[in-house]
């Protein structure tokens, strides 16, 4: 239901009266023609003119757009005129009292200011006057067929009319008063409902505006979080986070601080304002006072809101940002550990509320998680680089040692594959040379030379040889690892056998004898000597021959 529906539902007594009198006039116009037709043959010429004139007046008043008071008084006049005419013609024997009482009822319903009482009083006075004139012989009824009228007839008639009129008037006034109270109560109820409806619509509009604002903030938060999550560089991530929060939410200044390992010093890493950018890199010592908003936010891991217009908040004015009227400290936490905080400034008083804090806390958490992820990625990348570097160095050392003990080159000929003993073949520069690389280190070279006349090598062929060289490098590394694993297994087996032989006896001389024998056999030694006891400084040490 709209306000127009409520207004149209309000009860208006004036509107009801206008509709009522118009309907009565319409009914009178329809039924009046039949009354005129019925009474026209027996009516006098005066009555005929009277009835026709009143009927035309009723029609004109009904059809034409005239004031309500004119229609109401015309309807009362018609009732009074018909009643008076009936009494003048028939005395108390006709139906004049019905029209007079109808006029009283109409006056009570259609008009205020005690018009019904005046109408009833006038009707009674008129009846008394006619009665006195008729009884004194000064006036006679016009109808010749009217019965004789004595004082008793007039007394009964006037008494009945007065009692009926007074009862009708009293009842009508009481009904009208009750009706007015009900109408007033309904009017008040409608007014209250309209006011409540207006207040409700205002609340709905206010809540709708708040929801639109929150949706805008959520969209801004989601877009900011997406952009921050896509950033893979720490400094760029912090700079984007500070700038986007200030831009998307319309804040005066946003600073992003990172705490040291002890959580006692904060370093400004990024800022959205020009003044804040000039302070990047500076360290700020956290106060020990728990009433300080920054200390409270970091220790409690909860956002803290303060404003210069609130007496109950510990608002701290930063001299670097004199336009700040409201401030919110938003902790940056990962897995419950606070790693920093956002210092958000606004030039409007009481610019932050709990809902703003809730939305921005989600964004701060996502920013902290993205920061931690990028940090872990950088650490992992650094460790991988270190591992690759170590692997490259180890590979170079291992293969350098390996190639000093084995033939470094092999040559394919129609007779088969044979080792190259001449440096001439290794140093030849014609043909295609592709390095064999492993962990970034070159461990060998593949050299190809066509049969017959030398021709160039296409890019596709070179790529194919490079892929083959990669597989050769992997195969060589696998072979080396297998060979090393076999040697380690053999060495471990020899150690296990040696331990078994030594532990087979509990006699010291037998243990020493067995150990010396096994060492000589395992390493194929010419001599093995085992000395027991503290070494004498005067006795020269003799190396064990191998």
Q: How confident is the model at residue 546 (pLDDT cuts 50, 70, 90)?
A: very low
Cβ contact 409:419 at 8 Å: yes
> In angstroms, rounded to a whole number, what is the distance separating the alpha carbons of residues 369 and 363?
10
Residue where a domain terminates, one of 171, 196, 221: 196
pLDDT the model gives residue 253? 92
Q: If you average pLDDT over residues 238-243, what whole number do you get? A: 89
- Give the range of the structural domain holding residue 51, as residue numbers without chain letter: 3-196
DSSP 8-state symbol, 344: E
75 and 165 both lie in a single domain: yes
36-45, 52-61, 432-441: range with lowest mean pLDDT: 36-45
Answer whether residue 394 is part of any domain. Answer: no
Q: Which residue has the higher pLDDT, 437 or 455?
A: 437
Q: How confident is the model at residue 34 (pLDDT cuts 50, 70, 90)?
A: confident
34 and 145 both lie in a single domain: yes
Residue 303 DSSP SS3: coil
> In angstroms, rounded to a whole number, what is the distance separating the alpha carbons of residues 65 and 22?
11
Answer whether residue 361 is part of any domain. Answer: yes
Cβ contact 272:246 at 8 Å: yes
Cβ contact 441:395 at 8 Å: yes
| Cα 59 off chain centre by | 66
9 and 94 both lie in a single domain: yes
Q: Which two tokens stand for residue 10?
A: 């309000």
Q: How confident is the model at residue 24 (pLDDT cuts 50, 70, 90)?
A: confident
CATH number of the domain residue 263 falls in: 3.30.450.40
Q: If you average pLDDT over residues 143-167, what whole number do you get? A: 82
66 and 131 both lie in a single domain: yes
39 and 164 both lie in a single domain: yes
DSSP 8-state symbol, 227: H
pLDDT the model gives residue 56? 87
Range among 32-46, 319-333, 526-540 rated most confident: 319-333
372 and 416 both lie in a single domain: no
Total domains, the chain: 3
pLDDT the model gives residue 311? 67
Neighbour order of strands in the sheet with 337-346: 283-285, 265-271, 253-259, 337-346, 326-334, 304-307
> In angstroms, rounded to a whole number, what is the distance separating the alpha carbons of residues 24 and 435?
117
> In angstroms, rounded to a whole number, what is the distance separating the alpha carbons of residues 321 and 273?
10
pTM of the model: 0.50
Residues 6+ apart with CB under 8 A from 112: none
359 and 412 both lie in a single domain: no
Answer whether residue 545 is part of any domain. Answer: no
pLDDT in tens, 226-238: 888 788 788 888 8
pLDDT in tens, 337-348: 899 999 999 988
> In angstroms, rounded to a whole number, what is the distance separating the alpha carbons of residues 96 and 104?
13
35 and 177 both lie in a single domain: yes
pLDDT the model gives residue 331? 92
Report the half-sphere exposure of 248 (CA within 13 A, side-chain side).
24
CB atoms within 10 A of CB 249: 20
Answer whether residue 543 is part of any domain. Answer: no
pLDDT in tens, 323-379: 888 999 999 998 888 999 999 999 888 888 888 888 888 888 888 888 888 888 888
Answer whether residue 241 is part of any domain. Answer: no
Q: Across all residues in the chain, what is the average pLDDT?
A: 81
Answer whether residue 515 is part of any domain. Answer: no
Answer whether residue 533 is part of any domain. Answer: no
330 and 414 both lie in a single domain: no
**pLDDT above 70 covers what percent of the chain?**
86
Q: How confident is the model at residue 11 (pLDDT cuts 50, 70, 90)?
A: low
Return the closest-CA partner of residue 10 out of 203, 197, 200: 197
Q: If you average pLDDT over residues 380-384, what whole number do you get? A: 87
Answer whether residue 506 is part of any domain. Answer: no
166 and 262 both lie in a single domain: no
Q: Which two tokens stand for residue 234?
A: 């720490």
158 and 31 both lie in a single domain: yes
pLDDT in tens, 273-327: 998 898 898 888 888 777 788 888 888 889 988 888 776 667 888 888 888 889 9
439 and 351 both lie in a single domain: no
pLDDT the model gives residue 537? 47
Residue 285 DSSP SS3: strand
């Amino acid at each position: 239901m709209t306000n127009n529906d409520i207004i149209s539902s309000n009860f208006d007594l004036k509107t009801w009266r206008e509709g009522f009198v118009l309907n009565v006039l319409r009914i009178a116009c329809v039924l009046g023609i039949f009354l005129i037709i019925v009474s026209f043959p027996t009516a006098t010429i005066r009555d005929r003119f009277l009835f026709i004139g009143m009927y035309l007046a009723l029609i004109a008043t009904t059809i034409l757009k005239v004031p309500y008071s004119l229609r109401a008084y015309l309807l009362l006049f018609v009732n009074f005129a018909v009643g008076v005419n009936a009494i003048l013609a028939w005395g108390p024997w006709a139906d004049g009292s019905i029209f007079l009482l109808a006029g009283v009822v109409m006056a009570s319903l259609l008009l205020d200011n005690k018009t019904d009482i005046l109408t009833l009083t006038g009707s009674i006075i008129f009846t008394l006057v006619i009665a006195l004139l008729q009884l004194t012989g000064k006036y006679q009824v016009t109808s010749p067929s009217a019965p004789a009228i004595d004082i008793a007839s007039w007394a009964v008639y006037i008494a009945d009319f007065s009692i009926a009129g007074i009862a009708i008037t009293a009842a009508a006034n009481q009904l009208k008063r009750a009706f007015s109270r009900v109408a007033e109560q309904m009017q008040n109820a409608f007014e209250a409902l309209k006011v409540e409806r207006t207040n409700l619509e205002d609340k709905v509009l206010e809540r709708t505006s708040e929801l639109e604002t929150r949706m805008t903030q959520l969209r801004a938060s989601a877009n900011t979080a997406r952009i921050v999550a896509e950033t893979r560089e720490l400094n760029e991530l912090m700079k984007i986070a500070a700038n986007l929060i200030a831009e998307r939410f319309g804040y005066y200044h946003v600073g992003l601080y990172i705490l040291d390992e002890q959580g006692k010093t904060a370093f400004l890493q990024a800022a959205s304002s020009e003044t804040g950018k000039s302070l990047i890199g500076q360290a700020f010592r956290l106060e020990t006072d728990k009433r300080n908003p920054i200390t409270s936010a970091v220790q409690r891991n909860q956002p803290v809101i303060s404003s210069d217009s609130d007496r109950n908040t510990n608002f701290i004015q930063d001299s670097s940002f004199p336009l700040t009227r409201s401030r919110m400290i938003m902790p940056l936490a990962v897995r419950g550990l606070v790693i920093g905080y956002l210092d958000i400034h606004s030039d409007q008083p009481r610019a932050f509320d709990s809902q703003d804090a809730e939305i921005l806390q989600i964004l701060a958490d996502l920013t902290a998680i993205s920061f931690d992820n990028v940090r872990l990625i950088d650490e992992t990348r650094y460790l991988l680089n270190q591992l690759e570097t170590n692997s490259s160095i180890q590979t170079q050392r291992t293969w350098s040692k390996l190639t000093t003990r084995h033939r470094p080159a092999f040559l394919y000929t129609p007779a088969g594959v044979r080792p190259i003993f001449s440096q001439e073949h290794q140093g030849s520069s014609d043909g295609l040379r592709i390095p064999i690389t492993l962990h970034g280190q070159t461990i060998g070279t593949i050299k190809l030379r066509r049969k017959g006349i030398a021709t160039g090598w296409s890019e596709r062929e070179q790529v194919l040889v490079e892929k083959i060289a990669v597989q050769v490098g992997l195969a060589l590394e696998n072979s080396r690892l297998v060979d090393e694993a076999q040697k380690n297994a053999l060495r471990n087996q020899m150690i296990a056998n040696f331990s078994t032989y030594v532990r087979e006896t509990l006699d010291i001389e037998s243990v020493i004898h067995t150990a010396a024998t096994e060492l000589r056999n395992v390493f194929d030694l010419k001599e093995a000597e085992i000395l027991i006891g503290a070494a004498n400084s005067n006795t020269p040490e003799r190396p064990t021959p191998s």
